[in-house]
């Protein structure tokens, strides 16, 4: 079963074509890589697949929902890590997770607390949950940002350059965690990266985008 289906996606901005005739599918539980240099249209593709911007032409089906006709449903079933994720540096990891859990509609307190504990423990951040995020290393912030994107238990996860700027150990930690997600949780992951190493080590299949 396909979790993501893209059919001839095109996105143009004021005469500039950022994405041109892009078609691919991602199977449930798969890590699928979009590999290409900066400026190749990977981030624009994620924004279209997130129902944040509309394609100029073409269509996409996410978890059975059309990004144009069922935008709200699409947003409910996806988690997104942007290339430069925003976290509240003055708040603790626990406070950040509480804030975003409520924003994503996880209203039941017991469910919310259990999910936060599970994710912070999974990403090896539970012991630092009371520290302000501004004191975190870049690798820790990236782990927290991925944990945040999973707070509402999405079926599909989009990761835009998740290891960009990280040291080798932090990059390996992120890769290991992604593999564990797909193995244990059957999470479908769309990985956008310009790093061939990440694509080779993580992805079941890779599509190369050139500009």
Which residue(s) pair with 19 in the sheet? 11
Half-sphere exposure in the Cβ direction for 56 (13 Å, CA): 14
pLDDT-based confidence at residue 91 (cuts at 50, 70, 90): very high
Confidence (pLDDT) at 211: 65
Which residue(s) pair with 13 in the sheet? 16
Confidence (pLDDT) at 165: 78
Longest dimension (CA), the chain: 50
β-strand 57-62 against 188-193: which pairing, if any?
Answer: unpaired
pLDDT-based confidence at residue 87 (cuts at 50, 70, 90): very high
Domain ranges of the chain: 2-208
pLDDT at 95 over 70: yes
Judged by DSSP in three states, 104 sits in coil
The Cα–Cα gap between 136 and 132 comes to 7
CATH assignment of 2-208? Answer: 3.40.50.300
Q: What are phi and psi of 69, to 5 degrees?
A: -85, -25
| Model confidence pLDDT, tens digit, residues 118-145 | 999 988 999 999 999 999 998 899 999 9
CA distances from 135 to 97, 101, 116, 122, 172 (A): 16, 22, 20, 20, 21
Judged by DSSP in three states, 75 sits in helix
pTM higher than 0.75 for the full model? yes
Q: What percent of the chain has pLDDT over 90?
A: 71
Tokens for 25?
A: 């599918």
Judged by DSSP in three states, 190 sits in strand
pLDDT-based confidence at residue 184 (cuts at 50, 70, 90): confident
β-strand 2-13 against 16-27: which pairing, if any?
Answer: antiparallel
Q: Which among 173, 155, 148, 153 has a CA at the least distance from the CA of 163?
A: 173
Query: Buried (b) or exposed (e) across 51-63, using 16+ Cβ within 10 A?
Result: beeebeebebbbb
Q: What are phi and psi of 22, to 5 degrees?
A: -95, 125
């Amino acid at each position: 079963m396909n979790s993501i289906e893209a059919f001839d996606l095109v996105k143009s901005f004021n005469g500039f074509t950022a994405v041109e005739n892009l078609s691919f599918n991602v199977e449930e539980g798969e890590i699928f890589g979009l590999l290409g240099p900066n400026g190749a249209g990977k981030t624009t593709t994620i924004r279209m697949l997130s129902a944040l911007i509309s394609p100029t032409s073409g269509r996409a089906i996410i978890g059975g929902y059309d990004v144009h006709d069922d935008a709200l449903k699409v947003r409910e079933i996806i988690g997104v890590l942007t290339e430069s994720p925003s976290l509240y540096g003055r708040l603790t990891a626990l406070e950040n997770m509480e804030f975003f859990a409520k924003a994503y509609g996880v209203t039941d307190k017991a469910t919310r607390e259990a999910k936060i504990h599970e994710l912070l423990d999974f990403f090896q951040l539970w012991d630092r949950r009371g520290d302000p995020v501004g004191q975190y290393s870049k690798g820790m912030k990236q782990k927290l940002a991925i944990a945040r994107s999973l707070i509402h238990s999405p079926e599909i996860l989009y990761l835009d350059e998740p290891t960009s700027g990280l040291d080798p150990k932090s990059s390996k930690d992120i890769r290991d965690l992604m593999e564990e997600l797909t193995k244990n949780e059957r999470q479908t992951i769309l990985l956008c990266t310009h790093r061939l190493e990440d694509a080779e080590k993580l992805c079941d299949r890779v599509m190369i985008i050139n500009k």
